[in-house]
Structure 1
Amino acid sequence: MGIHSINPLIQWRKLLIFSLLLGLAACKNDQDVEVLKLAHNLDQTTSVHQAMVLMAKRLYELSGGTMRIDIYPSGQLGQEREYIELLQIGSLAMTKVSASPMEGFVQEMRIFSIPYVFRDEDHLWRFLESEKGKAMLAKGEDKRLRGVGYYDAGSRSFYSQCGTNRPIRRPGDLAGLKVRVQESQTSVRMVQALGGSATPISWGELYTALQQGVVDAAENNPPSFFLSKHFEVCKLYTIDEHTAVPDVILISSYIWNNLSAQQQAWLQQAVDESVKYQRILWAEATREALEAVKAAGVEVVYPDKAEFQAEVESMHESYRGEPIYDLLQHIKAMQ
């Protein structure tokens, strides 16, 4: 069942409770200030949260104090799935989600979970800032979700040797391992193509799942590996960089369409400035995370990526005949 397929009774009651707690996601207070409520499930030390703080500051300045963003971090108002549902009914203004689960709303977003599409970080950002990359942000409008920008989430790599489980150093080492993935069918196919058993598990439950052997390995970017403390239970980090999955900054289409053209322009400028700031913070956070996990006893290895790429080439060809195949070839051909 997709995130946007809401159970008529249970989900409606949950959303009604959230709506009552949140009030209006975008409302005017006594001083006629437009207040946008933004919620996310990361803590306040992350580059994402710090970039959002800048976004709020710049929107307030650009609007002359007539617009304000109130930020609710660390899952205060729920989790990613709930935030998306709240955006869809207009009870929350903004949030941040990974592009992987967004493929349930925008088919083209599958491209980010297909392994080894992008050669490097510059290649990824040339695409994200291109007309095709920007156009994808608006393709969730029919689901009442509008993307307004991308945040850097780096490249995802495998971490293993959790407890007594064997390490992942080459593609063949994935055979028979239960690997945690996001709620993305494309991510599931990727792990299966490498010989592993893909197991979707929520982020909040993953530490315990790794510790107790529910899954044998996982994959994520360096800052997430560090901040989640997964390095405490997984002592090998294999930097194969199989996918580059950005974060998507979302706003409720209902909220967006009720802003004036000038307000939309102010908000978009504030988002764009926060994107540039977050990329700077992300690069520093990645460097610091790798140093920290090494200091904590994690072995960080850089395998031959060509071996991993060869294993998933058939996955690329499996999309032949689908619209996404044309997008895949377009990206590969980008200089």
Structure 2
Amino acid sequence: MRRIDRFQQRHPALAYPVAVWKKFSDDRAGYLCALLAFFAFVSLFPLLLVLVTVLGLLLHGNPDLQHRVLNSALADFPVIGQQLKTNVNGIGRSGFGLAVGIIGSLLGARGLADATQYALNKLWAVPYTRRPGFPHNWLRSYGIIAVLGLGVLATTFLSGIGAWGGNGVFGIGVQVASVILSLIVNMSLFWLAFHLATAKEVGWRDQWLAAALAGVVWQILQITGGLIVAHQLRNSSSLYGVFGVVLGLIAWLYLQARLTVYAVEADVVRVRKLWPRTLFPPPLNDQDERVYRSYAAMEQRVKPETASADPSEESVQEPTGEVAEKSSATADRA
């Protein structure tokens, strides 16, 4: 075991991914992934209700266009998207129902944005005293929601372009161009969302790798993730019916959250130079000690008071009476 540990520490090609995995384990990031997947699941259905209702109001006279837009918006969820489209209906055309759906979607989306802020600041080991407080954290959350909305609109638009190209050489070229363009858009949106979700001490340059990896992972999941979700649905839909869609959706969201968190961890390890790590401590190396010191500093919840430079502002009250007697007795026993 020691020889394996020394071997991986001597080879950066092994030491770097091992350090990312070790950082993920030290952060207990699996719980953070579950938190993100839960709030994403909670926020998704109200958003779909609002989307279906708004499409029904705006495109009432054109059901074909309504279905095409809805299919484009659900293209981010391979296999599950078709299941969601058939199981989610509008909430009616009343203003009250639409208002309830919008409020529910905002609350759910803000929960996801708040969870994203908590997760990323924890991964970057930002002390609580340096994290944005009210009302700045609320403004950042609504900024993240706006970025998510832009992502849905951009994906819908690019999916429509890819479908518009049709078949043939021209159609294939249009589809390839739409994939490349959507990859660039996804990277940019991830970069902006990561910047909004972390404290200002984590700069733009610190997060470019996480945004690039997250964008690539998202694009790969769009292409190949359908096989994973299809296998999950094949085993669960026959047993649970519509709940199989729920299980597949949760699996999809958790997979996306986990890979995104790994992308952020890779950037943290790169920026903070937290490799190589020791697999079987003790002893600890310098990178291990740096990581564990950052955890201790992260738990600081009150800003330390600064000492006054003016001696006249400091006053020391001498113990008197019973307090003085107890102090004296304690000193005698010592």
Same fold (TM over 0.5): no
Q: TM-score, normalised by structure 1?
A: 0.25
Greater RCO, CA 8 A, separation 6+: 2
Q: Which has the higher helix share?
A: 2
Q: Which has the higher strand share?
A: 1
The higher radius of gyration belongs to 2
